Amino acid sequence: MNRREFHHRVAAAVLTGGVLGSSQVLGQATPAPASDDKPLPIIDTHQHLWDLDRQRVPWLDNATGVLGRSYRISDYVETTRPWNIVKAIYMEIDVAPSDHLAEVELITELCRSGKYPTVAAVIGGRPAEASFAAYIRTHAKNTYVRGVRQVLHGATTPRGYCLQETFVQSIRLLGELGLSFDICVRPDELPDAVELVGRCPETRFIVDHCGNADPKAFLPAARRDGAAPSHDPDGWRRAMAALAKAPNTICKISGVVAQVPKPQWTADDLAPVVNHCLDSFGPDRVVFGSDWPVCRMGAELGQWIAALHEIVKNRPETERRKLLHDNAKGFYRV
């Protein structure tokens, strides 16, 4: 079976109710026979797009491998064709600050066209800067903008960065404007996120990538591909449970597949992270995100979707629909 045939068979199995066995290696297993169930629609809440001919993306300056190229909307449409992704929310790509306006213009043009799944956006911004208030007040008038994200695990954003007063005031302003903030921090910085959420009770927060948990941290040493755990799994569990207690948070089930153990992995490797998030936040406060194309660092999009279906297969269909579609439809107003 060639690669294209494999992905079409996985698509048929997953979208119509069939699954891959949790003990089977993703990318090599033969999918189960398809059933007669209708496909589950998906809203992808974490779609990345970048055009390196038109944008400066500093973290990709020296990228090689799967990320060292442009990923345009045509690539996304082709990749997602088998997966019944009915809508997508664009997620900012940490462009150079001087390109923030251009990024918003590009994605607004894409949404406005009505030709593609992309219907709304979470844009980039720098809440710690004095200019942020004017910046976001302008973009809050854009009917396609739903929120803001700044990746907070870079070298220029040390522990405590999101708790400085200017940053906190900016996040409170997002709440006043009806916009959300995506939390993207290292696992050991999640306590900062807990404090930020508590200081901004009127702002809605999305915890990106299951709190950036590394699935290898939850595996025995023999399954870690020789790598030491990148964070304390118990500390991550406690911090995620604390975030879940705040009513103004939701969790994005995304990102974890980019760090799967190599060269082979199964849905069981991701299950401890995914299930803790689902159980902590509950069925009404979780959404699916592909994190495409960054997910390709660990697996293809179809393999990630297949693994997630396997993990949640025993949960009620109403909960699976909420995770994949219904919660995102309400939260992002799409």
- DSSP class per residue in 171-209: HHHHHHTT-EEEE---GGGHHHHHHHHHH-TTSEEEETH
Which residues share a beta bridge with 89? Answer: 120
What are 296-318's pLDDT values in tens digits?
Answer: 999 999 999 999 999 999 999 99
Alpha helices in 16-97 (DSSP H): 73-80
Looking at residue 129, the DSSP 8-state letter turns out to be S
pLDDT given at position 30: 29
Task: Report how far residue 323's alpha carbon sits from residue 42's, in angstroms, rounded to the nearest whole number.
Answer: 9
pLDDT above 90 (res 23):
no
Of 168-172, 188-192, 219-223, minimum mean pLDDT range: 219-223
Give me 23's structure tokens.
């003990």
Q: Return the number of other C-beta atoms located less than 10 Å from residue 113's C-beta.
A: 10
Please report, for residues 140, 145, 187, 252, the alpha-carbon distance to residue 89 in angstroms, rounded to integers and kept in the order given: 16, 10, 24, 12
Pair 205, 244: CB distance under 8 Å: no
What are 199-213's pLDDT values in tens digits?
Answer: 999 999 999 999 999
- The vertex-121 CA angle with 274 and 253, nearest 5°, equals 0
Of 226-240, 269-283, 284-298, minimum mean pLDDT range: 226-240
Give me 178's structure tokens.
């009806």
What are 102-152's pLDDT values in tens digits?
Answer: 999 999 999 999 999 999 999 999 999 999 999 999 999 999 999 999 999
Pair 85, 43: CB distance under 8 Å: yes
For 252-292, the DSSP string reads EE-SGGGG--SS---HHHHHHHHHHHHHHH-TTSEEE---B
Pair 76, 115: CB distance under 8 Å: no
pLDDT given at position 10: 41
Residue tagged 């439809």 (tokens) = 329
Q: What domains sit in the chain, N to C, each tagged with a CATH number?
A: 41-331 (3.20.20.140)
Closest CA relative to residue 104, chosen from 77, 125, 86, 87: 125
Question: Of 28-42, 150-164, 229-243, which one has max mean pLDDT?
Answer: 229-243
